[in-house]
Amino acid sequence: MHRTFRGLVRDNVHTIVMVIAIIVFVWLLQEVLEGEAIRLDTLAYQVIVLHMRRPWLTPIMQSVSELALPVVLVVVMLTVEAFAPGRWPGLCAAVNLVCVVILNTLLKAIIHRPRPDGFRLIAETGYSFPSGHSMIAMAFYGLLAWMVWHYERDRLVRYLCVIGFGVVVVAVGFSRIYLGVHYFTDVLAGFAVSLAWLCLYVRLFVPLFMPCELARRRPSKRARGEPRQG
């Protein structure tokens, strides 16, 4: 049977998105290593740091940035474990988080890009490229968006949650530039490499924690009053 182009794209969407994300990351890395990223970073600095900083907005951006801190993520993971379907949904989110933190640590150790200097609003240490907060936000909240999209039956809830998680991811990245602890290209690269990882993770590893037969937006076991397995 002839497979349409649309069908091929649908069946291989994870691979396609992963390849595009890797290409974007490699391009950004090349720009950074060759010193060409300064153009994008300078433009973002002028728009965000020079023109958008306000006394009332700074504490908001600090709070947004904290959405990628361990204490917040642990609370969210416990909530996922309690209400999401599958045997170990919380463990699924935790393993994903640990892996992306390790990946970020390795990349920073290899690339060694210093952080922006002279306009930071908060204290940060370590290297800059790619942004760890951006990677964590994309991998963690992106996985939550994937879970909701695949397991929630209510269409309105699906769309609202996916949009909400998307806003959180973008806001965390924006906050890191606003606070002066990352360049624009750090954030973009963090999003790109983390999205590539997320595509690989949901394709190969998520089924180990959340079997495919639970998909197609069945309600969680707790919502149906059934006992959890395991």
pLDDT band, residue 229 (cuts 50/70/90): very low
Residue with tokens 């999003």: 191
132 against 217, higher pLDDT: 132
Q: What are the backbone angles phi and psi of residue 50, rounded to the nearest 5°?
A: -80, -35
- Answer positive or negative: Cα dihedral of 166, 172, 176, 182: negative
**pTM, whole model, 2 decimals?**
0.84
How many Å apart are CA 50 and CA 61, to the nearest integer?
A: 15
pLDDT band, residue 219 (cuts 50/70/90): very low
Q: Is the pLDDT of residue 126 over 90?
A: no
What are 170-182's pLDDT values in tens digits?
999 999 999 999 9
What are 89-101's pLDDT values in tens digits?
888 889 999 999 9
Whether 184 and 177 have beta carbons less than 8 Å apart is answered as yes
Query: Lowest-pLDDT range, 1-15, 77-91, 109-123, 136-150?
Result: 1-15
How many Å apart are CA 194 and CA 140, to the nearest integer?
A: 9
Domain coordinates in residue numbering, the chain: 9-211
Residue 57 contacts by C-beta under 8 Å, 6 or more apart in sequence?
178
What are 152-170's pLDDT values in tens digits?
788 898 899 999 999 999 9
Q: Indicate the residue type of 129.
A: F
CA distances from residue 84 to 101, 151, 162, 200 in whole angstroms, order as listed: 23, 8, 15, 21
| SS3 of residue 172 by DSSP | helix
